């Protein structure tokens, strides 16, 4: 490219190229937005699947199969090991053991030694 003045034909050709390039950039921007939207949709799907996976893994967790007696022994040992004198503090044992799930609440409430 030189610093010489352009002819009208050359200016017209360059303006045509500028218009085409702007259209190409707009087209690329539209494709980028479409792909970004698709990526966001995929991320949401992934998050949903991971949440569902975590729920399913909890359902088959071995702790769910522990007999009442074993849970009772674990809770008793745990609470006595901590030597907790916080019987009225809901954030301390044995109270928070009963906040895990309904089954743990039943087990914890049924152990007189904890109270």
Where do the domains of the chain lie? 1-60, 62-114
Which of 98, 54, 56 has the alpha carbon at shortest distance from 79?
A: 98
Confidence check: pLDDT of 115 > 90: no
88 touches 82 (CB < 8 A): no
Percentage of the chain exceeding pLDDT 70: 89
Asked if the model's pLDDT at residue 114 lies above 90, the reply is: no
pLDDT the model gives residue 16 = 98
Count of alpha carbons within 13 angstroms of residue 75, beta-carbon side: 30
Q: What is the pLDDT of residue 36?
A: 98
* Choice among 32-36, 43-47, 83-87 with the minimum mean pLDDT: 83-87
Confidence of residue 45 (pLDDT cuts 50, 70, 90): very high
Q: What does each C-alpha distance from 54 to 40, 51, 57, 92, 111 come to in angstroms?
A: 21, 5, 5, 27, 30
CA 49 to chain centre: 10
Rounded distance between C-alpha atoms, residue 78 and residue 92, angstroms: 11
pLDDT surpassing 70 at residue 87: no
| Residue 38 confidence (pLDDT) | 97
Q: In this predicted model, which residue has the larger pLDDT, 24 or 102?
A: 24
Question: What is the rounded distance in angstroms from the CA atom of residue 45 to the CA atom of residue 53?
Answer: 12
H or E element that contains 67: none
Residue 30 clears pLDDT 80, i.e. is over it? yes
């Amino acid at each position: 490219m030189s610093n010489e003045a352009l002819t009208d034909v050359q200016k017209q050709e360059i303006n045509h190229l500028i218009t085409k390039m702007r259209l190409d950039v707009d087209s690329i921007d539209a494709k980028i937005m479409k792909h970004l939207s698709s990526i966001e949709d995929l991320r949401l799907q992934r998050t949903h699947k991971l949440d569902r996976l975590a729920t399913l893994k909890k359902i088959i967790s071995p702790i769910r199969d522990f007999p009442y007696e074993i849970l009772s022994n674990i809770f008793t040992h745990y609470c006595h090991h901590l030597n907790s004198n916080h019987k009225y503090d809901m954030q301390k044992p044995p109270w928070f053991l009963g906040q895990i799930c309904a089954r743990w609440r039943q087990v914890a409430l049924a152990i007189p030694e904890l109270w």
